[in-house]
Structure 1
Amino acid sequence: MIANMSESELERLSRMWEEHMRAPFPPHMRGREIEGENMVLLDAETAGCVVSSLSGPLEGKRREILLVCLAAIEKVLPSIDDDGASEYYKHLQDMAALAVELGNANAPVA
């Protein structure tokens, strides 16, 4: 268990991750780019960072990647024209935001 992380927030992220793993990837998003973002790669990079955050606070490089992914999701969401795919990426966005929030809560104080 991560020392300073709120149990309920960590449990929430873990539950969200389990939900994400059960959700099928929207098939029509394979091979698709929106706003210059490869949608499969965006999902994979974000998911990798979220999984890492379940083990402990993200180190600098992985945290930077997650912040870039979060910004990319925010950029593409308005352009996703399918409710199922939009829901899928909104859930991904919510997980990424919570992972960042948990990381910020556990960042060393300067």
Structure 2
Amino acid sequence: MSESTEQVQTADHLWREFRQEPFPDSLRHVTFGGTDVWLIEFDIAGCVVRWLDNGGALDSENSILLQSRIEDLDRVIPEVDDPVGAQYCRQLRRLALLVSRPTRRCRQRR
């Protein structure tokens, strides 16, 4: 199995697990730096779905958005007082980081 295939499969598995978790009530009306936490999750989810649909690739616009949302989570996570909300944000960040890593495509030898 190629490294890129394994990365996509891992992300798909994490995405399926993540989708089973409800959005924590403690984060529903929380805003950090002028951005609602639910919007950070929404943007990351969109990027993850696009990445999975494209076999591990994101266009530059979505790559920039994803990186920006990872930075938002880096600021949000230390401020979340609720353990459930913090864990939810850490899982979201882990998934976003996996998707933001470039996949390595196998090259055929000539």
Q: Same fold (TM over 0.5)?
A: yes
What residue number does 1:12 align with? 10
Structure with higher Rg: it is 2
Structure-1 separation of matches of 2:104 and 2:58: 9
Q: Which residue of 2 aligns with 1:83?
A: 83
Q: Counterpart of 2:46?
A: 48
Could you say which residue in structure 2 is the equivalent of 1:105?
Answer: 103
Distance 2:65 2:104 in 1: 18
Aligned length: 102
Map of 2:108 onto structure 1: none
Runs of 4+ in 1 over 3 A off after TM superposition: none
Q: State the SS of the aligned residue for 2:81.
A: coil
Matched, 1:38 2:36: yes
Q: Encode CA deviations 1:2-41: one digit per residue, 9 max, x unaligned.
A: xx76221111100110011000100121121124331110
Partners in 2 of 1:80 and 1:12 — Cα distance?
27
Q: Which runs of 5+ in 2 are unaligned?
A: 106-110
1:105 and 1:6 map into 2 onto residues whose CA distance is 5
Cα RMSD, aligned residues only: 1.6
Query: With structure 2 as the length reference, what TM-score do the two structures score?
Result: 0.85
* Matching of residue 72 in structure 1 with residue 72 in structure 2: yes
Q: 2:75 is paired with a residue of what secondary structure?
A: helix
Identity of aligned residues (%): 25
List alignment gaps of at least 5 residues for structure 1.
Answer: none
Q: Distance in 2 between matches of 1:61 and 1:5?
A: 24
State the AA in 1 paired with 2:11.
Answer: L
User: How far, CA to CA, are the matches of 2:104 and 2:51 in structure 1?
Assistant: 11
Q: Distance in 1 between matches of 2:97 and 2:21?
A: 19
